[in-house]
Amino acid sequence: MQLLVNPLKPRDGYVSNSPLERRKNKVED
């Protein structure tokens, strides 16, 4: 877990409109 806010890695609870990010969030969840 990175403490720094990485643009490529949305922080916890962040919802992106990008299908790729949403898919990644589902996998992490």
Q: Is the pTM of this model over 0.75?
A: no
**Looking at residue 26, what is its pLDDT?**
62
Q: What's the token pair of residue 5? A: 């806010």
Distance of CA 16 to the CA centre of its chain: 7
**Looking at residue 4, what is its pLDDT?**
60
**Looking at residue 3, what is its pLDDT?**
58
**Looking at residue 28, what is its pLDDT?**
58
Distances (CA, A) of 3 to 6, 8, 18, 22: 9, 13, 23, 21
pLDDT in tens, 1-29: 555 655 666 555 555 556 666 666 566 55
